[in-house]
Structure 1
Amino acid sequence: MLELSRNLAIPDSEIELTAIRAQGAGGQHVNKASTAIHLRFDIRASSLPEYYKERLLALNHHLVTADGVVIIKAQEYRSQELNREAALARLMVLLQQAMVVEKTRRATKPSKGAKLRRLESKVRKGITKALRGKVRP
């Protein structure tokens, strides 16, 4: 069971973990042992609340396919158990990103003092530039 918060968890039956052979360097070990983990999590078929499903599908993340399936491949460790933990941790991070509600931006205007400081600095820069001109008798 993957615990997301005190009142939200994903049962193990909804997460499909498959051991596959890893890619890349590693010699005979990588060619013989299935240490990489391929994780699949179907968002639409999960027991998550509808609100989280919608947010996950709208995330536009490279791990989420157009069908609404999260696919994670973990192969950074030599051990299958460590790769399983890494894949579950990456799924947890993705789900927590979807849970975060961003603050709505409220438009503000510059204060009177900020406007005054801006105008004074423009005047100072203008005077400086005027002094760079040719010297006239």
Structure 2
Amino acid sequence: MRLSNGIVIDESELDEQFIRSSGPGGQNVNKVATAVELRFDISRSRSLSESVRELLLARRDRRMTQDGVLVIQARRFRTQDRNRQDARDRLAAVIEQALLPVTPRVATKPTRASKTRRLTEKRQRGETKSRRSVRDWD
């Protein structure tokens, strides 16, 4: 499997299992295993360089197991082939996303106009609430 940034993942490192899918498809869903569960062991992969492996393992992704295995389930389509391709495309997207440099956050200050707006709205809200209070008409 060749990625757009020059990384080539060996097919033997991808573990695919076909499982029954939920969703549309009628009785076909109950009979045919069209969903794909793709497993890629990042921590033991020989296709990835050490730096790429560290970047992927450092990401906090709910699809990643404690052992460093990325599990992708594809069940969007009704056919095995399309789900298989979808799972591979999503794996490529995860790897390519991890390679993008993280842009540091630049702290900004609120403008004078935004401060004024906030305080005005806050004052108006307080006045509205104070008018709701029970008054003694004696």
TM-score range, shorter chain: 0.7 to 0.9
Q: Which residue does 1:100 correspond to in 2?
A: 100
Q: Which residue does 2:52 correspond to in 1?
A: 52
Is 1:2–1:12's contact at 8 Å kept on the other side of the alignment? no
TM-score (norm 2): 0.72
Q: Which residue does 1:71 correspond to in 2?
A: 71
Is 1:72–1:87's contact at 8 Å kept on the other side of the alignment? yes
**Secondary structure of the equivalent of 1:71?**
strand
Give distance in 1, aligned partners of 2:107 and 2:76: 45
Q: Which residue does 1:80 correspond to in 2?
A: 80
Q: Which residue does 2:36 correspond to in 1?
A: 37
Amino acid at match of 2:97: Q
For structure 2, the residue ranges without an aligned partner over 5 or more in a row are 117-138
For structure 1, the residue ranges without an aligned partner over 5 or more in a row are 123-137
Give distance in 1, aligned partners of 2:25 and 2:106: 53
Amino acid at match of 2:75: Q
Q: For residues 4 and 65 of structure 1, do their structure 2 counterparts lie closer, same or farther at Cα, with a shift above 3 Å needed?
A: farther
Identity %: 42
Give distance in 1, aligned partners of 2:106 and 2:54: 25
Amino acid at match of 2:29: V
Q: Which residue does 1:134 correspond to in 2?
A: none
User: Over residues 60-118 of structure 1, what are the superposed CA-to-partner deviations in whole Å (9 max), with x where a residue is unaligned?
Assistant: 01111121100011011011000001101111111011111123457799xxxx9xxx5
Q: Structure 1 or 2: larger strand share?
A: 1
